[in-house]
Amino acid sequence: MPVHATARLKYVSIPPRKMRLVAEMVKGMPVEKALNILNFSPRIAAHHIAKTLKSAAANALSQEGTGQLKPENLRISTIKVDNAPTAKRIRFQSMGRVYRIRKRHCHLTIVLEEAGISREPEEAKTTRTREAEQETKGKEAAKAVKKKPTAKKTAGRGKAARERTSRKVATHKGVPKGSVPKKTTTGRASVMVKKGKAKTD
């Protein structure tokens, strides 16, 4: 389960507008980086935000423990500034007049979460590892079947090659397949004819 640690600071004597200016600077940052920025900020609101941020980090570590959670992994998920009741004050002026002073307050809420790490129960992890192992075994078996051709295929290939070679030997150039070549007449008769012509001469 993801970590969600919260810290609140209520009735801060700072106007919400001034608090939000500092809160927007560190929104979504890791805790260490946010504290470095807040420590060097000249605004008074930075002190209150840094104090609340340290409290939220301490709450997260107390919930999960330092063995399972590290402070470097914490990140600011939400930082919210709400309006608080306004205190009314007066300021006396000349000729019996009175001016109204409104001292505005705010509530600060910071929520932290663990950045980039999704936690799952041990049972879910074991089932996932088993499924991954089964998938890898199935892929390896499929590869082995593809690499080894069957005996029937090899025998068929040998027969086809033999038939091709026999056809090439049987057929002559320029003679269509299936037809028998004619016998040539270069035998003893031609030789005898040549000899008879020579004798008569």
Tens of pLDDT along the chain (201 residues) come to: 577 889 999 999 999 999 999 999 999 999 999 999 999 999 999 999 999 999 999 998 888 887 778 888 899 999 999 999 999 999 999 999 999 999 999 999 999 998 765 454 455 556 666 777 778 777 777 777 666 555 555 555 566 666 776 666 555 545 555 555 555 555 554 545 455 544 444
Please, are residues 57 and 114 in contact by the beta-carbon 8 Å criterion? no
- What is the amino acid identity at position 131? E
The pLDDT, as a whole number, for residue 39 is: 94
**Does the CA dihedral 169-175-179-183 come out positive or negative?**
negative
The pLDDT, as a whole number, for residue 118 is: 47
Full set of structural domains in the chain with CATH: 4-114 (3.90.470.10)
In the DSSP assignment, the letter for residue 14 is S
Q: Which residues contact 118 (CB under 8 A, 6 or more apart)?
A: 2
The pLDDT, as a whole number, for residue 191 is: 47
What are residue 11's phi and psi, to 5 degrees? Answer: 55, 50
The closest alpha carbon to 110, from 69, 82, 70, belongs to 82
Burial class (CB in 10 A: 0-12, 13-18, 19+), 12: buried
Residue that the structure tokens 């295929």 belong to: 153
Bridge-based pairing state of the strands 98-114 and 4-12: antiparallel
pTM beyond 0.85: the answer is: no
3-state secondary structure (DSSP) of residue 158: helix
Burial class (CB in 10 A: 0-12, 13-18, 19+), 1: exposed
The pLDDT, as a whole number, for residue 52 is: 95
The pLDDT, as a whole number, for residue 33 is: 93
